[in-house]
Structure 1
Amino acid sequence: MRDVEPNADGVRSYECLQCGTITTAEGNPGKCPACGGEIRNRRMPIE
């Protein structure tokens, strides 16, 4: 995960599992702003 800043002061990157849109926010936005799909915190590995 080289494209994620390790010291982002509360701002985190979230990625949509359906369309791949990347969003930055201080808290979990809940749904993708582009398609309404599920999102994940990019710092959490996908198993």
Structure 2
Amino acid sequence: MKEVQARWPDDAVAVEVEGEIRWVLAEDVDRLAAGPVSTTRLLGP
């Protein structure tokens, strides 16, 4: 657990998703309220 905490971003904030606590970067919180995504990105290796 210490290794995870040592690498955990300082700007992570807790949010509730479907009744469960999840973590997201502060800069991405607004995206959660933006509604469903209309596209999917496939990332290569």
TM-score (norm 1): 0.25
- Normalising to structure 2: TM-score of the pair? 0.25
Between Structure 1 and Structure 2, the one with more helix by share is 2
Higher RCO by CA contacts (8 Å cutoff, separation 6 or greater)? 1
Structure (1 or 2) with the larger CA radius of gyration: 2
